[in-house]
Amino acid sequence: MQHVPADLPKRIQHFIDGEFVDSLDGDTFEVLDPVSNTAYLEASSGKRADVDRAVTAARKAFDDGPWPGMLPRERARVLNKIADIVETRNERLAELETFDTGLPITQALGQAKRAAENFRFFADLVVAQADDTYKVPGKQVNYVNRKPKGVAGLITPWNTPFMLESWKLAPALASGCTVVLKPAEFTPLSAGLWPEIFREAGVPDGVFNIVNGFGEEAGDALVKHEDVQLISFTGESATGQQIFANAAPTLKALSMELGGKSPAVVFADADLDAAIDSTVFGVFSLNGERCTAGSRVLVERGIYDEFVRRYVERANNVRVGDPHDPATEVGALVHPEHHEKVTRYIELGKTEATLAAGGERPEGLESGNYVQPTVFIDVPPTARIFQEEIFGPVVAITPFDSDEEAVRLANDTKYGLAAYVWTSNLERAHNVGQRIDAGMVWLNSHNVRDLRTPFGGVKASGLGHEGGYRSLDFYSDQQAMHISLAPVHTPKFGA
């Protein structure tokens, strides 16, 4: 029996200027749950006019409201309240997120906690924020006057939606921006919790607005709106390219967190038990729908056979099933369209490499967007399953013979988001890690984040880094103020 959360809403509306509203044309779209694939929710489908209404409210709150001018401590207090409320609603949040996305409940709970932590972190950071001052002795003092940029357009994907929304909302609001959020159309349910949370925490009307809808309509209108000063986007690289072009006429600041095909490099001198735990978790957690998934595992030839044997054994044991069951390790993929995409890649993989585990629908799960954790071995770097982001529980394993080859293979895709290096040789760990083209590298670890560090990718994985103060920099302008301390020498033109 599928678990259906109590009091599930039947409708999700936009939230504009402190009110829940329908689309101006009344249009809606259906939202499916990934276990039964039936529509359980109607969400308002935003168009240009709805986005315009939300941006106008955000603009007014920015120009006339208290939010941008409040002391950092005052805004931080509100952000901490948001974190408190999110924490008290963890269980409900995770329950809804799991129902809407198919993520295993234990992992959805972890993501809900991270969402609260994002608010707490940026609350602390904005209070501690210091800006540059410079002195030219006897002549000048210069300082930075930091100002929020204006109306922030936030566009988010369907994997861990609530957490990824918090990753943008927290620094944008901490900086004093007002926002319009466009959540992913596959998964609008948990975003529907933000309005009540923000209201309760004391966020003034108009500071936070949501417009639901499709990327090509609501998202596109936000990107092209001339009163939106910046877009923070997380999603596919191809969408990022399109947004980049569409934002050009209005010259917006852009932060792009895009796709990945991240390598996990395992050397023969690695702690093999730890490396196997980590590389299995690294690609199968969050259903493999994870931007930083270590979806290419490169293994040194000397341990290749043993690694593959043990890896396959573990993959075959991963528990796929009902996302609401706390014992489940891999749940259901978000949407039938995405399930079809992942399945197509698995069929392609069977023609490109050797299938060593999975590759089918799991037994006993005849409906729902389930796939077996799938392992391909001896995958040539020319294979599409080596090169392209699959975004599901599918891993490509490839042997290598030297440090040089490991680095070459690691860098042999268009992406550059994350990388993982496993070795007990400290020099090698640093040298190999530093040579990999990736925005983030973990040595002897899976993806464990310190929120102060830069987050983002290189190459096709993104543009610009958020994380820590970099996020606050993105959401604010740093105006240079110059003060003369002595009469200034001015050439006397026309004297």
Stretch that binds ligand NAD, among 7-15, 108-116, 181-189, 369-377 (CB under 6 A): 181-189
Q: Does the footprint of ligand NAD cover residue 188 (CB under 6 A)?
A: no
CB-nearer residue toward ligand NAD: 149 or 225: 225
Candidates 59, 114, 168, 182; binder of ligand NAD (CB under 6 A) is 182
Q: Does the footprint of ligand NAD cover residue 112 (CB under 6 A)?
A: no
Q: Does the footprint of ligand NAD cover residue 230 (CB under 6 A)?
A: no
Residue at token pair 């987050």? 455
Q: Is 222 exposed, middle or buried (0-12, 13-18, 19+ CB in 10 A)?
A: buried
Closest approach, Cβ 40 to ligand NAD, in A, equals 19
- CB-CB contact of 104 with 152 (8 Å): no
Alpha-carbon distance values, 118 to 87, 122, 174 (Å) = 12, 6, 11
Q: Does the footprint of ligand NAD cover residue 50 (CB under 6 A)?
A: no
Q: Does the footprint of ligand NAD cover residue 236 (CB under 6 A)?
A: yes
Residue 184 DSSP label: -
Residues 462-481 that bind ligand NAD (CB under 6 A): 462
Closest approach, Cβ 404 to ligand NAD, in A, equals 28
* Nearest of 165, 221, 193, 188 to residue 46 by alpha carbon: 221
Establish whether 97 is a catalytic residue. no
CB-nearer residue toward ligand NAD: 276 or 293: 293
Alpha-carbon distance of 464 to 55, in angstroms, equals 24
Alpha-carbon distance of 217 to 160, in angstroms, equals 22
Q: Does the footprint of ligand NAD cover residue 234 (CB under 6 A)?
A: yes
Stretch that binds ligand NAD, among 51-59, 130-138, 143-151, 157-165 (CB under 6 A): 157-165
CB-nearer residue toward ligand NAD: 259 or 263: 259
Per DSSP, helices labelled H in 186-321 are 194-201, 220-224, 237-247, 272-284, 301-317
Instruction: Tell me, residue by residue from 377 to 416, as one string, x for binding to ligand NAD by CB under 6 A and - for no binding.
Output: ------------x-x-------------------------
Q: Which two tokens stand for residue 165?
A: 């929304």
Stretch that binds ligand NAD, among 4-12, 17-25, 133-141, 209-217 (CB under 6 A): 209-217
Alpha-carbon distance of 405 to 400, in angstroms, equals 6
Alpha-carbon distance of 260 to 413, in angstroms, equals 9
Q: Does the footprint of ligand NAD cover residue 460 (CB under 6 A)?
A: no
Residue 164 DSSP label: H
Q: Does the footprint of ligand NAD cover residue 100 (CB under 6 A)?
A: no
Alpha-carbon distance of 107 to 95, in angstroms, equals 11
Q: Does the footprint of ligand NAD cover residue 168 (CB under 6 A)?
A: no
Stretch that binds ligand NAD, among 17-25, 178-186, 319-327, 426-434 (CB under 6 A): 178-186
Closest approach, Cβ 301 to ligand NAD, in A, equals 30
Q: Is 132 exposed, middle or buried (0-12, 13-18, 19+ CB in 10 A)?
A: exposed
Helix and strand totals (H; E) in the chain: 15, 21
Per DSSP, helices labelled H in 176-271 are 194-201, 220-224, 237-247
Stretch that binds ligand NAD, among 182-190, 272-280, 301-309, 442-450 (CB under 6 A): 182-190
Q: Which neighbouring-strand residues pair with 30? A: 42
Candidates 157, 282, 358, 433; binder of ligand NAD (CB under 6 A) is 157
441: enclosing H helix or E strand: strand 440-443
CB-nearer residue toward ligand NAD: 34 or 215: 215
* Nearest of 463, 486, 454 to residue 136 by alpha carbon: 486
Stretch that binds ligand NAD, among 150-158, 297-305, 444-452, 473-481 (CB under 6 A): 150-158
Candidates 105, 155, 275, 356; binder of ligand NAD (CB under 6 A) is 155
CA 37 to chain centre: 24
296: enclosing H helix or E strand: strand 296-300
Q: Which two tokens stand for residue 359?
A: 């590759």
Q: Does the footprint of ligand NAD cover residue 257 (CB under 6 A)?
A: yes
Choose, from 97, 117, 185, 257, the residue flagged as catalytic: 257
Q: Which two tokens stand for residue 444?
A: 């002897």
Candidates 41, 109, 291, 419; binder of ligand NAD (CB under 6 A) is 291
Q: Does the footprint of ligand NAD cover residue 258 (CB under 6 A)?
A: yes
Alpha-carbon distance of 28 to 11, in angstroms, equals 9
Alpha-carbon distance of 456 to 86, in angstroms, equals 25
The number of residues that bind ligand NAD (CB under 6 A) is 31
Q: Does the footprint of ligand NAD cover residue 242 (CB under 6 A)?
A: yes
Instruction: Tell me, residue by residue from 26 to 45, as one string, x for binding to ligand NAD by CB under 6 A and - for no binding.
Output: --------------------
Where in the sequence numbering do the catalytic residues fall?
257
Residue ranges in contact with ligand NAD by CB under 6 A: 155-159, 164, 182, 184-185, 214-216, 219-220, 223, 234-236, 239, 242-243, 257-260, 291, 389, 391, 417, 457, 462
